[in-house]
Amino acid sequence: MKPFRLMLSVALMSLSAVAFAQSDAQKSFDTMKTLAGSWEGQSAATGTPLDGKMMHVSLRVTSMGNALVHEMTGAGRPDDPITMLYLDGDRLLLTHYCDAGNRPRMAGKMSPDGKTVDFDFLDVAGSTQYGHMHHAVFTVIDANHHSEDWTYMMPGDKPVHARLDLQRIK
């Protein structure tokens, strides 16, 4: 009987660890979904054509609450990159459909204070000839303000950073 109790205890501890990891990913995703709406703010991207440009960001919950669509537009841009955020098991993933013609994926982790979700590069599909998006950080300041920090990796592994300080417009 004792071996059965030991196995049951180990199994329950394992299940609780999985449940904790899933709830952390779910908590991160739920935080990201609070950003649904329309936002605008200036881009700070030193040395790029986007520096100082007014940017518009739209975040929309879709697929019965299972995905978040992020679209970014700016002055003088013919179209916009699209980023999808979604849960994949116990991970919050981001797939960025890039202007460079590739699709990098990143995994998100929430900060201890619950206000920042930091996405680290996993892999990329498609050519990286022109570079690829490599890192993203979303920080919730309050219900009407958030920031986004994006890192684009140029060929030769030269990072280019862009920061958006956004205000909700609806």
- Per CATH, which fold does 2-168 belong to? Lipocalin (2.40.128)
147 close to 164: Cβ distance less than 8 angstroms: yes
Residues in the chain predicted with pLDDT less than 70, given as ranges, are 1-22
Instruction: Give the pLDDT of residue 48.
Output: 80
Which sequence spans correspond to the domains of the chain?
A: 2-168
**pLDDT, the chain, mean:** 88
Instruction: Please compute Rg for the chain using Cα positions.
Output: 19
Selection from 32, 102, 40 nearest residue 68 by Cα: 32
Instruction: Give the pLDDT of residue 76.
Output: 73
Q: How far apart are the first and last CA of the chain?
A: 61
Q: Residues 40-80: pLDDT tens digits?
A: 999 998 878 778 889 999 999 999 999 999 999 987 777 78
Instruction: Give the pLDDT of residue 8.
Output: 44
